[in-house]
Amino acid sequence: MPASRITFYSNPQSRAAVIHWMLEELGEPYETIYLNFQGAMKTPEYLAINPMGKVPAIVHDGQIVTEGAAICAFLADQYPQKNLAPTLDSPLRGTYYRWLFFVAGPLEEAITMKSLNMPIPADKSAMLGFGTLGHVVDALEQAVSNATWICGEQFTAADVYVGSAIRFYMQFGVLEPRPAFKAYVDRATQRPAYQRSLEIIQKAAAAQQK
């Protein structure tokens, strides 16, 4: 039997940073297994957990979950006493899902196309799920401008996911640093759980260099 209910597969230089933060917000015991990109992530053992050969992934009481947004939402639901999601009957559950899915879908697609310098023909915006990069960024700005957090005064797993994406995309220069984005990321990254996750990731990255 594992010592904790949660086994987390990570690499310190990856999107798994989101889950490091989420797990620190959750405050439940977990075991982290660091995998390198070309070796451990492509073994039959790990491909049985994530056939994509990517991190992050978790195994929670034997249940595999991959995809950063899904892991955040799943963990929040498994530990409802931690208040990291609006309750199932709350109207804010709609807002919560809306922006989790928006960032995992349209925002990531638009930003990926921009990062790869792929031309986005203006006349194809109706068939593209993200429409145009401008529309996606304007919508995202609204989501983080109305209140302290995505769901008002309650910090949720959606803030872990959306906050991580905005921080990461701004850092890599693919999302313009609008004042609303900077203010939201500043609020989010001041949280003790974020700070702890940063320390954990930095230590793991340093150990990897050795």
Number of Cβ atoms within 10 Å of the Cβ of 91:
9
Which stretches of the chain are DSSP H helices? 17-26, 44-47, 68-78, 92-102, 108-115, 133-143, 157-171, 179-189, 192-209
DSSP class of residue 1?
A: -
- List the one residue from 10, 22, 23, 54 that touches ligand GSH (CB under 6 A): 54
Rule CB under 6 A: is residue 162 a binding residue for ligand GSH? no
Q: Which residue number places its CB atom closest to ligand GSH? A: 54
Q: Minimum Å distance from CB 96 to ligand GSH?
A: 17
Q: Minimum Å distance from CB 175 to ligand GSH?
A: 16
65-84: contacts with ligand GSH (CB under 6 A): 67-68
Q: Minimum Å distance from CB 92 to ligand GSH?
A: 23
The helix (H) or strand (E) run that includes residue 31 is strand 30-34
What is the DSSP code string of 116-149? TT----GGGTTTSTT--HHHHHHHHHHHTTSSSB
Rule CB under 6 A: is residue 56 a binding residue for ligand GSH? yes
Rule CB under 6 A: is residue 107 a binding residue for ligand GSH? no
Quick one: 28 or 67, whose CB is closer to ligand GSH?
67
Write out the residues near ligand GSH by the rule CB under 6 A. 14-15, 37, 41, 53-56, 67-68
